[in-house]
């Protein structure tokens, strides 16, 4: 006799509300006593019932880690955002221009940007992430070299840009020209990679709320990126996180900045539609 997964999935789904109630807490995320961040929302229609409630990874972390994100002085990720602000204001490249020379105050020009990316770019004719847009400015308008994906300066400036959207709901376009990228990302999300044959969904859809060894599994949402991780004591980009998770399935990973991860970023971002932007967030 074979046991069908359906019954297993049902059993897991039934187990989640109890565990969830105990573990994914009901705390409210308010940053600096003023920025209210939505951390639980109704799933978007395109999730087709895959999740009963969409939750930020913040809910799956312990109280101390949660508290660090609630005050900019305690959030080590804000140091990266500050470094990013300095880079924003500093001229670079052969044109002798800074980001600020064209975009002014990021509190105005960059507000909402992080919430709407990755985005299909008409001119480039492809889907672009925030980091790709930053590099487009550097190479095409500043005469500067592209930054390495998910590394130092790119992550610090992305953190600063993300911080301008804190509290704003994730709202990415997945239709029209973005649709094929979204479909590709979805396919990757459900592919069981590596020798352990695990997909993103194996851990973050079927088992969020459960423990995998010492790790409390979240839904793997990316509204909080870049994320300051206590584990490696630095800001981490979305693609680096994807890479780490795929590596943990004993698979041959994709690289940060690859077409696969750009598509996956759009798809995972769309799973968190409506969650508030938290970047730079704090996780373990």
- Using the contact rule CB under 6 A, the part of the chain among 80-88, 90-98, 99-107, 197-205 near ligand HEC is 197-205
**Burial (0-12, 13-18, 19+ Cβ within 10 Å), 67:** middle
Residue among 35, 23, 22, 108 nearest 69 (CA): 35
Active site residue 200: no
- Can you tell me the distance from the alpha carbon of 83 to that of 91, in angstroms, rounded to the nearest whole number? 14
- Can you tell me the distance from the alpha carbon of 214 to that of 225, in angstroms, rounded to the nearest whole number? 22
Q: Which is nearer to ligand HEC, 227 or 270 (CB)?
A: 227
Q: Packing angle between helix 259-271 and helix 238-247, nearest 10 degrees?
A: 100
Q: Please give the DSSP secondary-structure letter assigned to residue 60.
A: G
Binding to ligand HEC, residues 1-30 (CB under 6 A)? 3, 8
Q: Which among ligand HEC, other proteins, none contacts residue 1 (Cβ within 5 to 8 A by kind)?
A: other proteins
Per-residue contact flags (x/-) with ligand HEC for residues 102 to 121, judged by CB under 6 A: --------------------
Q: Which two tokens stand for residue 275?
A: 């969650």
Long-range contact set of residues 11-18: C-beta below 8 Å, sequence gap at least 24: 12/206, 12/207, 12/210, 13/52, 15/209, 15/210, 16/52, 16/208, 16/209, 16/210, 17/52
Binder among 155, 268, 277, 282 for ligand HEC (CB under 6 A): 268
**Residue 231 near other proteins by CB under 8 A:** no
Length of the chain: 284
Q: Is the peptide bond before 240 cis (omega within 30 degrees of 0)?
A: no
Binder among 2, 34, 48, 49 for other proteins (CB under 8 A): 2
**Residue 187 near other proteins by CB under 8 A:** yes
Give the shortest CB-104-to-ligand HEC separation in angstroms. 31
In sequence order, what are the residues at sequence separation of 6 or more whose Cβ sits closer than 8 angstroms to the Cβ of residue 200?
Answer: 188, 189, 190, 220, 245, 268
- Using the contact rule CB under 6 A, the part of the chain among 17-25, 126-134, 157-165, 210-218 near ligand HEC is 210-218
Binder among 20, 29, 51, 57 for ligand HEC (CB under 6 A): 57
Q: Which two tokens stand for residue 127?
A: 């889907």
Binder among 4, 14, 108, 233 for other proteins (CB under 8 A): 4
Binder among 114, 166, 241, 271 for ligand HEC (CB under 6 A): 241
Q: Which two tokens stand for residue 240?
A: 């680096």
- Using the contact rule CB under 6 A, the part of the chain among 21-29, 106-114, 115-123, 217-225 near ligand HEC is 217-225
Q: Which is nearer to ligand HEC, 186 or 283 (CB)?
A: 283
Q: Which among other proteins, ligand HEC, none contacts residue 258 (Cβ within 5 to 8 A by kind)?
A: none
The CA-CA-CA angle for residues 213, 214, 218, to 5°, reads 95
Q: In the complex, which residue's CB is closest to ligand HEC?
A: 57
Instruction: List interacting residues with other proteins (CB under 8 A).
Output: 1-5, 8, 184, 187-188, 191-198, 202-203, 206-207, 210-214, 217, 243, 246-253, 260
Instruction: List interacting residues with ligand HEC (CB under 6 A).
Output: 3, 8, 57, 60, 198, 200, 202-204, 212, 215, 217-218, 220-222, 224, 227, 241-242, 245-246, 248-249, 264, 268, 283
């Amino acid at each position: 006799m074979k046991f069908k997964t359906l019954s297993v999935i049902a059993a897991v789904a039934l187990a989640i509300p109890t565990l969830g109630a105990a573990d994914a807490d009901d705390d409210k995320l308010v940053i600096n006593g003023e920025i209210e961040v939505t951390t639980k929302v109704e799933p978007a229609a395109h999730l087709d019932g895959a999740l009963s409630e969409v939750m930020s990874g913040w809910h799956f972390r312990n109280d101390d880690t949660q508290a660090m994100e609630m005050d900019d002085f305690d959030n080590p990720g804000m140091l990266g955002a500050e470094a990013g602000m300095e880079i924003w204001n500093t001229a670079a490249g052969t044109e002798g221009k800074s980001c600020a020379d064209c975009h002014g105050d990021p509190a105005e020009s960059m507000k909402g940007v992080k919430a709407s990316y990755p985005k299909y770019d008409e001119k480039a004719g492809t889907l672009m992430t925030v980091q790709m847009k930053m590099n487009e400015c550097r190479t095409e308008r500043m005469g500067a070299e592209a930054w390495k994906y998910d590394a130092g300066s790119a992550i610090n400036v992305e953190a600063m840009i993300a911080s301008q959207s804190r509290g704003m709901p994730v709202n990415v376009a997945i239709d029209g020209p973005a649709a094929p990228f979204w479909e590709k990302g979805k396919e990757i999300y459900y592919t069981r990679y590596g020798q352990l044959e695990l997909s993103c969904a194996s851990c973050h859809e079927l088992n969020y709320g459960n423990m995998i060894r010492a790790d409390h599994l979240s839904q793997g949402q990316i509204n909080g990126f870049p994320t300051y991780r206590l584990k490696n004591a630095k800001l981490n980009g979305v693609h680096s996180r994807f890479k780490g998770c795929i590596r943990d399935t004993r698979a041959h990973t994709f690289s940060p900045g690859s077409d696969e991860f750009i598509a996956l970023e759009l798809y995972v971002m769309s799973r968190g539609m409506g969650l508030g932007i938290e970047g730079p967030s704090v996780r373990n």
